[in-house]
A and B are shown apart, each in its own frame.
Chain A
Amino acid sequence: MMDESSTKDTSPKGLSTKLLAGSVLGLGGGLVGLFQGLQSGDKAPFLGWLWGCSFWLSIAIGMLMLIMIFRIFNSKWSPVVRRQQEHALSAFPWLGLCLLPLLLVAWFGKDQAGILWSWINPASPTIEVSSIISVEEDVLHQKKAGYLNLNFFTLRLIAYFGIFCGISYWLRKASFSQDKDGDPKWTHLGTKVSAIGIPAAALALTFGAFDMFMSLEYQWFSTMYGVWFFASGMRAALAITILICVYLVANGKLKGLFKQAHQYDLACLSLTFTIFWAYVSFSQYFLIYSANIPEETFWFTIREIDPNTGLRSGWFWVSMGLIFGHFFFPFLYLLFYRTKVDVPKLVFIVCWILAFHLLDLYWNIIPGREIVPGAFVGYEARPVIGSHLLWGVFSLVGVGCLCAWAVIRSFQSGIAEIIPIRDPRIRESINHHE
Chain B
Amino acid sequence: MSEVKEVEEHEILKKVDPAPWKDVPLVLNNRDYKWVTDKVCGIVESKTPTWWWWCFITALCIASFTGMGLVYLVSTGVGVWGNNNPVNWGWAIVNFVFWIGIGHAGTLISAVLCLLKQKWRTSINRASEAMTVFAVLCAGIFPLFHVGRVWFAWWLFPIPNANAIWPQFRSPLEWDVFAVSTYATVSILFWYMGMIPDMAVLRDRATETWRKYFYGFFAMGWRNANNHWRNFEMAYLLLAGLSTPLVLSVHTIVSFDFAVANLPGWHTTIFPPYFVAGAIFSGFGMVLTLLLPVRAVFGLRDLITQKHIDNMCMITLATGSIVGYAYAMEFFIAWYGANSYEGFAFINRAFGNYWWSYWIMVSCNVICPQLFWFKKIRQNTPLVWIISIFVNVGMWFERFVIANTTLSRDFLPSSWGYYSPTVVDIFTFFGTFGFFSVLFLLFLRFLPLMPMCEVKSVMPQADPHADH
Contact = CB atoms under 8 A, between A and B. Distances in A.
B252 to A, nearest CB: 7
A421 B7 contact: no
Given A202-B325, A224-B269, A279-B248, A257 B12 contact: yes
Given A259-B3, A291-B267, A418-B12, A423 B262 contact: no
A59 to B, nearest CB: 22
A418 B15 CA distance: 11
A337 B110 CA distance: 22
A422 B19 CA distance: 5
Contact of B9 (A72, A139, A256, A421): A256
A291 B266 CA distance: 11
A223 B329 contact: yes
Interface stretch (B123-131, B208-216, B335-343, B445-453): B335-343
Contacts of A287: 256, 259-260, 267-269, 271
A199 B336 CA distance: 21
Contacts of B34: none
B10 interface: yes
A283 B12 contact: no
Given A223-B270, A284-B269, A6 B11 contact: yes
B12 A144 contact: no
A332 B302 CA distance: 43
Interface residues of A, number: 54
* Most chain B CB inside 10 Å of its own CB: which residue of A5, A72, A279, A287: A287
B413 interface: no
A222 B248 contact: no
A421 B333 contact: no
B467 interface: no
B106 interface: no
A430 B7 contact: yes
Contact of B19 (A182, A223, A280): A182
B21 interface: yes
A178 B19 contact: yes
A197 to B, nearest CB: 13
Interface residues of B, number: 42
A290 B260 contact: yes
Interface in A67-124: 72
A283 B252 contact: yes
B252 A256 contact: no
A23 to B, nearest CB: 31
B19 A184 contact: yes
B248 A427 contact: no
B234 interface: no
Nearest to A231: B273
Interface-central residue, B16, B256, B262, B321, by most chain A CB under 10 Å: B16
B262 A257 contact: no
A222 B269 contact: yes
B20 interface: yes
A403 B18 CA distance: 31
A147 interface: yes
B19 A424 contact: yes
A417 B14 CA distance: 12
A317 interface: no
Interface in A388-431: 417-419, 421-427, 430
Given A422-B18, A426-B16, A288 B248 contact: no
Contacts of A421: 12, 15-17
Contacts of B337: 221, 295
Interface string A1-14: 00101100000000
A293 B262 contact: yes
Interface of A: 3, 5-6, 72, 139-140, 143-144, 147, 178, 182-184, 186-187, 195, 199, 202-203, 206, 210, 221-227, 255-257, 259, 275, 279-280, 283-284, 287-288, 290-291, 293, 295, 417-419, 421-427, 430
13 contacts: A5-B11, A143-B338, A147-B336, A182-B17, A210-B336, A221-B336, A256-B7, A279-B273, A287-B256, A421-B12, A421-B16, A424-B20, A430-B7
Given A184-B20, A221-B337, A426-B18, 13 more contacts: A3-B11, A3-B15, A6-B11, A144-B338, A147-B336, A178-B19, A187-B19, A199-B325, A223-B329, A223-B333, A256-B7, A418-B12, A427-B18
Q: Which 6 A-B pairs have the closest CB atoms?
A: A424-B21, A256-B6, A223-B270, A224-B269, A143-B338, A221-B337
